[in-house]
Protein backbone atom coordinates (compact mmCIF):
# COMPACT_ATOMS: atom_id res chain seq x y z
CA UNK A 1 0.00 0.00 0.00
CA UNK A 2 2.85 2.37 0.77
CA UNK A 3 5.12 0.98 -1.92
CA UNK A 4 8.76 0.31 -1.13
CA UNK A 5 10.58 1.87 1.80
CA UNK A 6 13.96 3.56 1.49
CA UNK A 7 15.62 3.95 4.91
CA UNK A 8 17.86 6.75 3.66
CA UNK A 9 14.97 8.89 2.56
CA UNK A 10 11.91 7.74 4.47
CA UNK A 11 10.62 8.24 7.97
CA UNK A 12 7.90 6.29 9.70
CA UNK A 13 6.23 7.58 12.84
CA UNK A 14 3.89 5.20 14.58
CA UNK A 15 1.78 5.82 17.68
CA UNK A 16 -1.17 4.26 19.43
CA UNK A 17 -3.42 7.14 20.38
CA UNK A 18 -5.90 6.38 23.14
CA UNK A 19 -8.94 7.80 21.37
CA UNK A 20 -11.33 6.59 18.68
CA UNK A 21 -10.42 6.94 15.02
CA UNK A 22 -13.06 9.60 14.51
CA UNK A 23 -11.38 11.83 17.12
CA UNK A 24 -7.97 11.50 15.45
CA UNK A 25 -9.50 12.07 12.03
CA UNK A 26 -11.26 15.22 13.26
CA UNK A 27 -8.05 16.60 14.77
CA UNK A 28 -6.41 16.21 11.38
CA UNK A 29 -9.20 17.39 9.11
CA UNK A 30 -10.81 20.20 11.09
CA UNK A 31 -8.83 23.36 10.26
CA UNK A 32 -9.13 24.95 13.68
CA UNK A 33 -8.01 21.72 15.35
CA UNK A 34 -5.17 21.17 12.90
CA UNK A 35 -3.85 24.67 13.62
CA UNK A 36 -3.56 23.74 17.30
CA UNK A 37 -0.94 21.06 16.87
CA UNK A 38 0.80 21.28 13.49
CA UNK A 39 3.58 23.66 14.60
CA UNK A 40 5.28 23.85 18.00
CA UNK A 41 4.21 26.66 20.35
CA UNK A 42 4.81 29.58 20.52
CA UNK A 43 4.76 29.51 16.71
CA UNK A 44 1.26 29.74 15.26
CA UNK A 45 -0.17 27.90 12.28
CA UNK A 46 -2.86 29.21 9.95
CA UNK A 47 -4.58 26.93 7.44
CA UNK A 48 -5.31 28.84 4.25
CA UNK A 49 -6.55 25.89 2.22
CA UNK A 50 -7.44 22.36 3.24
CA UNK A 51 -9.46 21.02 0.37
CA UNK A 52 -9.88 17.37 1.37
CA UNK A 53 -10.04 15.59 -1.98
CA UNK A 54 -7.47 14.36 -4.51
CA UNK A 55 -5.97 17.44 -6.15
CA UNK A 56 -7.27 19.70 -3.38
CA UNK A 57 -4.95 22.45 -2.18
CA UNK A 58 -3.25 22.16 1.21
CA UNK A 59 -1.67 25.45 2.21
CA UNK A 60 -0.55 26.62 5.63
CA UNK A 61 1.31 29.60 7.06
CA UNK A 62 3.45 29.97 10.14
CA UNK A 63 4.04 32.90 12.46
CA UNK A 64 7.05 32.75 14.72
CA UNK A 65 7.58 34.91 17.79
CA UNK A 66 4.39 36.82 17.09
CA UNK A 67 5.68 37.94 13.69
CA UNK A 68 3.71 38.05 10.46
CA UNK A 69 2.42 34.84 8.89
CA UNK A 70 4.77 33.39 6.28
CA UNK A 71 4.34 30.50 3.84
CA UNK A 72 4.94 27.14 5.45
CA UNK A 73 3.44 24.13 3.71
CA UNK A 74 2.28 24.48 0.13
CA UNK A 75 1.01 21.23 -1.28
CA UNK A 76 -1.86 19.14 -2.49
CA UNK A 77 -3.81 16.10 -1.32
CA UNK A 78 -3.38 12.96 -3.38
CA UNK A 79 -5.81 10.65 -1.59
CA UNK A 80 -8.43 11.09 1.12
CA UNK A 81 -10.05 7.89 2.42
CA UNK A 82 -12.55 8.84 5.10
CA UNK A 83 -11.31 7.87 8.59
CA UNK A 84 -8.50 5.79 7.09
CA UNK A 85 -5.92 7.60 5.05
CA UNK A 86 -4.62 11.03 4.06
CA UNK A 87 -1.93 11.32 1.40
CA UNK A 88 -0.41 14.68 0.54
CA UNK A 89 2.69 16.03 -1.17
CA UNK A 90 4.48 19.32 -1.69
CA UNK A 91 5.58 18.17 -5.14
CA UNK A 92 2.25 19.47 -6.41
CA UNK A 93 -0.01 22.31 -5.35
CA UNK A 94 -3.80 22.61 -5.70
CA UNK A 95 -5.20 21.22 -8.95
CA UNK A 96 -2.11 19.01 -9.40
CA UNK A 97 0.03 21.95 -10.58
CA UNK A 98 3.78 21.15 -10.23
CA UNK A 99 5.31 22.89 -7.19
CA UNK A 100 8.42 25.06 -7.00
CA UNK A 101 10.32 23.22 -4.28
CA UNK A 102 9.15 19.63 -4.03
CA UNK A 103 10.70 17.32 -1.51
CA UNK A 104 8.18 15.05 0.19
CA UNK A 105 5.06 12.93 0.14
CA UNK A 106 3.36 11.93 3.38
CA UNK A 107 0.96 9.05 3.97
CA UNK A 108 -1.08 9.24 7.15
CA UNK A 109 -2.86 6.02 8.07
CA UNK A 110 -5.40 5.40 10.84
CA UNK A 111 -6.37 1.91 12.00
CA UNK A 112 -8.45 0.60 14.85
CA UNK A 113 -6.38 -0.70 17.74
CA UNK A 114 -7.57 -2.37 20.98
CA UNK A 115 -6.28 0.67 22.89
CA UNK A 116 -7.68 3.25 20.47
CA UNK A 117 -6.19 4.21 17.12
CA UNK A 118 -2.96 3.17 15.48
CA UNK A 119 -1.61 6.31 13.83
CA UNK A 120 1.15 5.97 11.25
CA UNK A 121 2.84 8.80 9.39
CA UNK A 122 5.07 7.57 6.58
CA UNK A 123 7.04 10.39 5.00
CA UNK A 124 9.07 9.91 1.81
CA UNK A 125 11.71 12.44 0.82
CA UNK A 126 13.47 13.34 -2.37
CA UNK A 127 17.09 12.58 -3.12
CA UNK A 128 20.00 13.83 -1.08
CA UNK A 129 21.07 16.55 -3.50
CA UNK A 130 17.77 18.32 -3.06
CA UNK A 131 17.88 18.05 0.65
CA UNK A 132 20.70 20.54 0.83
CA UNK A 133 18.73 23.24 -0.91
CA UNK A 134 15.86 22.48 1.34
CA UNK A 135 18.08 22.58 4.37
CA UNK A 136 18.92 26.16 3.56
CA UNK A 137 15.33 27.04 2.74
CA UNK A 138 13.69 25.35 5.64
CA UNK A 139 16.48 26.03 8.05
CA UNK A 140 14.56 28.02 10.61
CA UNK A 141 11.69 25.58 10.65
CA UNK A 142 13.69 22.41 10.95
CA UNK A 143 16.53 23.57 13.09
CA UNK A 144 14.46 25.77 15.33
CA UNK A 145 12.07 22.91 15.92
CA UNK A 146 14.84 20.56 16.94
CA UNK A 147 16.13 23.09 19.40
CA UNK A 148 12.68 23.74 20.79
CA UNK A 149 11.91 20.10 21.15
CA UNK A 150 15.16 19.49 22.94
CA UNK A 151 14.24 22.36 25.20
CA UNK A 152 10.80 20.94 25.87
CA UNK A 153 12.36 17.60 26.60
CA UNK A 154 14.68 19.21 29.11
CA UNK A 155 11.78 21.00 30.75
CA UNK A 156 9.66 17.91 30.91
CA UNK A 157 12.40 15.75 32.36
CA UNK A 158 13.22 18.41 34.93
CA UNK A 159 9.55 18.71 35.91
CA UNK A 160 9.36 14.94 36.04
CA UNK A 161 12.46 14.73 38.19
CA UNK A 162 11.04 17.32 40.54
CA UNK A 163 7.76 15.57 41.16
CA UNK A 164 8.74 11.92 41.29
Partner 1 sequence: MQQHSEHLNGIFHALADPTRRAVLGRLGRGPASVSELAEPFDMALPSFMKHIRFLEGNGLIRTHKDGRVRTCAIERKPFAVAEAWLSTQRALWEGRTDRLEQFVITAHAKDKSK
User: Considering the rule CB under 8 A, would residue 145 count as an interface residue with partner 1?
Assistant: yes
User: Considering the rule CB under 8 A, would residue 126 count as an interface residue with partner 1?
Assistant: no
Q: Which of 48, 100, 144, 163 binds partner 1 (CB under 8 A)?
A: 144
User: Considering the rule CB under 8 A, would residue 8 count as an interface residue with partner 1?
Assistant: yes
User: Considering the rule CB under 8 A, would residue 91 count as an interface residue with partner 1?
Assistant: no
Q: Which of 2, 23, 49, 126 binds partner 1 (CB under 8 A)?
A: 23
DSSP the chain: ------TTTEEEEEEEESS-HHHHHHHHHSHHHHHHHSS-TTSEEEEEEE--STT-EEEEEEE-TT---EEEEEEEEEEEETTTEEEEESSEEGGGEEPSS--EEEEEEEEEETTEEEEEEEEEE--HHHHHHHHHHTHHHHHHHHHHHHHHHHHHHHHHHHH-
Q: Which of 143, 159, 161, 163 binds partner 1 (CB under 8 A)?
A: 143
In the complex, which residues of this chain contact partner 1 (CB under 8 A)? 8-9, 11, 13, 15, 17-20, 23-24, 26-28, 33, 36-38, 40, 64-65, 104, 119, 121, 123, 125, 131-132, 134-135, 139-151, 154, 158
Amino acid sequence: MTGSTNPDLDLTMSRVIKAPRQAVWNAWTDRASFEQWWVPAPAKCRVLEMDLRPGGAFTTQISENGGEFKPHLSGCFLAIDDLERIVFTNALVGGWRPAEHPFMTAIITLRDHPAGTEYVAHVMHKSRADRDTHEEMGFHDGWGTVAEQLATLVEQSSVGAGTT
